[in-house]
Amino acid sequence: MVTIVDYGMGNLGSIRNMLLRIGAESTITSDPADVRSAEKLILPGVGAFDRAMQNLEERGLVGPLNERVLRDGVPILGICLGMQLFCRGSEEGVRPGLGWIEADSVRFANDGPTPLKLPHMGWNTVSVRGEPPIFRDRFDDTRFYFVHTYHVRCADDRNVYATTTYGTEFHSSVGRDNIVGTQFHPEKSHRFGLKLLRNFVENY
């Protein structure tokens, strides 16, 4: 059973439908008790960093998430803003993040000779580093759907699972141990996203 955390920000139904397509049972919840009993967790996210952290705190979800992820080693997949919440903080706001990864969320630099169109929106390829389980048996032309203006910058390269280039190279998947995140949206990425979600369900 995969527990999709509902804190008011994210493509919850789309994620659940993709999990259904690979035969994985899931539930959508904002109940801290459900998080405390979760076997696997997905933290989605679309929107602003500070509002997301505020919502998690107001719903009493930060403590249960820390307990299950850090103490109990329950696997968690963060998607887009959900991955950014794993960081220490974000240039987008002032609230501290969950701090699970030594990283920060930063805005795309847009001071080059050809300004980037922001947000970065659409399909893009990823370059995988090493053999993280989330990318096991991937397609040769692996690509995913992105929608974001901020991206994660890891302090330790060992936490970088994949990179993508949009104006500059950025960290598009990060993680350590039971924690994994993607800047892209697997729930919008067709067969590539299905494969990645299957890897999360079966390999974590």
151 is catalytic: no
- 151 close to 83: Cβ distance less than 8 angstroms: no
87 is catalytic: no
Q: How many domains does the chain have?
A: 1
Catalytic residue among 25, 67, 187, 202: 187
pLDDT value at position 113? 72
Catalytic residue among 80, 87, 120, 148: 80
Catalytic residue among 120, 185, 190, 202: 185
pLDDT in tens, the chain (204 residues): 999 999 998 889 999 999 999 999 999 999 999 999 999 999 999 999 999 999 999 999 999 999 999 999 999 999 999 999 999 999 999 999 999 999 999 999 877 677 889 999 999 999 999 999 999 988 778 899 999 999 999 999 999 999 999 999 999 999 999 999 999 999 999 999 999 999 999 999
- 197 close to 79: Cβ distance less than 8 angstroms: no
- 88 close to 104: Cβ distance less than 8 angstroms: yes
Using DSSP's 3-state secondary structure scheme, residue 21 falls into helix
Instruction: Tell me the two tokens of residue 82.
Output: 């959900």
Sequence-separated (6 or more) residues with CB below 8 Å from residue 48: 92, 93
CA distance 112 to 7: 36
List the CATH number of the domain containing 52: 3.40.50.880
pLDDT value at position 11? 83
Q: In degrees rounded to 5, what are phi and psi of residue 90?
A: -140, 145
pLDDT value at position 17? 96
Domain that holds residue 113: 2-203
pLDDT value at position 125? 96
pLDDT value at position 151? 97
154 is catalytic: no
Q: For residue range 52-104, what is the model confidence (pLDDT) as tens digits?
A: 999 999 999 999 999 999 999 999 999 999 999 999 999 999 999 999 999 99
pLDDT value at position 139? 78
